[in-house]
């Protein structure tokens, strides 16, 4: 299964009552595919506020986005959690709906050992037949999926990739030793070009909600051997990559990107508690980002 080089971790649009806004979800999927040129979409991942979506809401989202995408891009269901049995159940239900793959975040709060991580992911992967993408984000989960554990999991036939937010040394080590066909994706927009340079296949992006086309150009330039243009594009995009997580201080994803979408013509609503709505200072900072200003003026 080829998920492409640009994967968008999609936000979940909410209405004024905090319920899923299906009309806006349809518009968002179209924007990501047509305007932002994404290759795949992660639905109900952590950027989609998976911890505060119900089991049924996730299934409804998987089904809705599958129908809207209509085969134009791959749909990856966020079915990971810190409860192995629940993740197995949701993964099996997502598979029945026809999703193209699963994204499994490392179990948060539990702080399992490396053996616990291996057994958790192994149990979920072996409960389904569709491709599985691991998701390593220690800053959110308090546990790092080590290089050794990732490579061990890569031996399971349907574990086909990892989205890794660790340092470049870890990404390079995985890319160097992984089986043929196993893909390494950066989970950090600001590391897109450096990650490609050390062997990553692509990016699972948040910024692609508003600069997807530019990100695709960056990736394509690097793959085509035009490192100078790739570097130029990366330098131009870096303030936006950083700004969507530090506006003007560290702000939890997806608060800033949801506001950026609203400013650029697609109001996707606020976030669910315990995330707090964007502040005036944060909103002003997001509005100052170059691609947001450009879209607001067009």
Range of the domain at 148: 6-227
CA distances 167 to 6, 141, 223, Å, are 20, 16, 21
Q: Is residue 272 part of a domain?
A: no
pLDDT value at position 247?
77
Q: Check pLDDT > 90 for residue 125.
A: yes
Structure tokens at 52: 């505060």
Q: Is residue 293 part of a domain?
A: no
Q: Is residue 239 part of a domain?
A: no
- Find out whether 87 and 51 touch, Cβ atoms under 8 Å: no
Q: Is residue 205 part of a domain?
A: yes
* Owner of token pair 């997806």: 254
Q: Is residue 297 part of a domain?
A: no
Average pLDDT score over residue span 141-161: 97
Q: Write phi, then psi, for 250 (nearest 5 degrees).
A: -55, 125
Under the banding of pLDDT at 50, 70 and 90, the label for residue 294 is confident
pLDDT value at position 280?
94
Q: Which residues are catalytic?
A: 135, 163
**CATH label of the domain that carries residue 172:** 3.20.20.70
pLDDT value at position 297?
75
Q: Check pLDDT > 90 for residue 206.
A: yes
* Cβ count within 10 A of residue 161: 26
Q: Is residue 157 part of a domain?
A: yes
- Radius of gyration, alpha carbons of the chain: 18
Q: Check pLDDT > 90 for residue 146.
A: yes
pLDDT value at position 86?
98
Q: Is residue 122 part of a domain?
A: yes
Structure tokens at 16: 């004024």
Buried b (16+ CB within 10 A) or exposed e, 243-271: bbbebeeebebbbbbbbbbbbbebbbbbb
Contacts of 132 (CB under 8 A, 6+ apart): 101, 102, 104, 121, 124, 125, 156, 158, 159, 160
Structural domain count of the chain: 1
pLDDT value at position 250?
85
Q: Check pLDDT > 80 for residue 93.
A: yes
Alpha carbons 190 and 188: distance in angstroms, whole number: 5
Mean pLDDT, the chain, integer: 96
What is the tens place of the pLDDT at every residue in 231-274? Answer: 999 999 999 999 999 877 889 999 999 999 999 999 999 999 99
Q: Write phi, then psi, for 50 (nearest 5 degrees).
A: -55, -35
Q: Is residue 161 part of a domain?
A: yes
Share of the chain above pLDDT 90, in %: 94
């Amino acid at each position: 299964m080829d998920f492409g080089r640009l994967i968008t971790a999609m936000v979940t649009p909410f209405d004024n009552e905090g319920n899923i806004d299906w009309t806006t979800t349809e518009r968002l999927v179209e924007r990501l595919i047509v305007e932002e040129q994404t290759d795949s979409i992660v639905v109900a991942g952590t950027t989609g506020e998976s911890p505060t979506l119900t089991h049924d809401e996730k299934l409804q989202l998987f089904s809705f986005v599958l129908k809207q995408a209509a085969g134009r891009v791959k749909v990856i269901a966020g079915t990971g959690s810190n409860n192995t049995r629940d993740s197995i159940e949701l993964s099996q239900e997502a598979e029945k709906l026809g999703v193209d793959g699963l994204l499994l975040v490392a179990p948060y709060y539990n702080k399992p050992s490396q053996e616990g991580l291996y057994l958790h992911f192994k149990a979920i992967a072996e409960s389904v037949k569709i491709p599985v993408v691991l998701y390593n984000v220690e800053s959110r989960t308090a546990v790092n999926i080590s290089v050794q554990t990732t490579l061990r999991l890569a031996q399971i036939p349907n574990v086909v990739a990892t989205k890794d937010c660790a340092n470049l040394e870890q990404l390079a080590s995985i890319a160097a030793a992984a089986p043929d066909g196993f893909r390494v994706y950066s989970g950090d927009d600001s590391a897109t070009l450096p990650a490609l340079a050390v062997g990553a296949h692509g990016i699972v992006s948040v910024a692609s909600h508003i600069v997807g086309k530019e990100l695709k150009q960056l990736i394509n330039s690097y793959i085509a051997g035009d490192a100078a243009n790739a570097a130029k594009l990366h330098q131009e995009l870096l303030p936006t990559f950083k700004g969507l997580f530090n506006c003007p201080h560290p702000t939890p994803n997806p608060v800033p990107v949801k506001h950026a979408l609203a400013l650029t013509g697609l109001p996707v609503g606020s976030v669910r508690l315990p995330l707090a709505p964007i502040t005036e200072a944060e909103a002003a900072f997001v509005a100052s980002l170059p691609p947001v200003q450009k879209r607001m003026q067009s």
